[in-house]
Structure 1
């Protein structure tokens, strides 16, 4: 139902652009993917919902992302993971070297994170910044506070500073195939064995300018809790520029 409502809204947009330009500064995107399996022995499912909104100006770009992953295997809960983030880029559209800042909140049943909040700043570099090809590397420092559930130890509340290194890409092939990816490596500055890995890859086959079939692969590892998750999902992505 959620996806149907979003699709109806996008269908009613009078004019849709394929990219940002002088008169197009906003991008709204909704993705609904998941896997459902039912056999004589039981059933399992994982649903992944994500909404992102971007404001793109010459000097500053502002991005907001929200994802919710919910899954069960039989009567057992496997995923109830929520993540929300807000980040900005300064001078990314005007020069190779730019500045960035971010703030995120995460709660993850599968990774045993009651809550995690991060905030930080850093530098990024545009290797490619074209309509059909974007490749960016960035690095910076984050302050992080956590409330975790450690195996055989119980609750763990702590703070740390992390280095945050990211590689991001966006590739469009003949306006039909879209490849997106973002990969984070975040080791603690006080303990190298305390690290976070986040990796997201998606491939979208465009059915319309605003609608596509998407395959997404997400991997997360949080070494402090000793937990990781791997999700391979299929579904739909709807988006519009205005």
Structure 2
């Protein structure tokens, strides 16, 4: 106990001694030595607040605080990752099932990304969760495109074997839909090749603009005019878009495909 007390007081004693020497040497005009002693005095005054000091073969208490800080940041990072994944999943599910609108989903996505980027998190885990959100947006865009294609070419006008194949493929495409897949929708959609040239050209233009708009929404979190219409589930709004594209009234009366399942 006595030794510990002496050890703790030693830096203060040395600081006081060096302070006295500093005054005496400054009186004698020994400037260079005074500078060294001044630094030594400051070090001795700081030493009681640290457990060790690297300059003399000891380790500073600051190392311990840094370790605690790193542990805290790791925990915060883990929490941020869990929150981001959960938030993306909830956002995707709510938008997919019509619980919330897509404007809310897009806004939420921007907030989630800001949080995940602010703190070093598990980027791969968050990226996987975000993929589901991007697929949800893609499904919505595809459902609108498909409803227009089906309006121009109703399945009941096709032969039964062709109609059956198209129905199966449409369902497969829908559940696999992604921004990359929609980019090639005129190639992979099974019914597109049966359209007349005029309708095919118009739907191709719509697909191109919708694909670019979808990628912009995902990249920037901002919807242009077309995407705002597409993400509006109002049949009246979509019918107006259909009329703008084909210059005819649509007969759409319900949500086109499997999104309610």
TM-score (norm 1): 0.25
More strand by share: 1
Larger radius of gyration: 2
TM-score (norm 2): 0.24
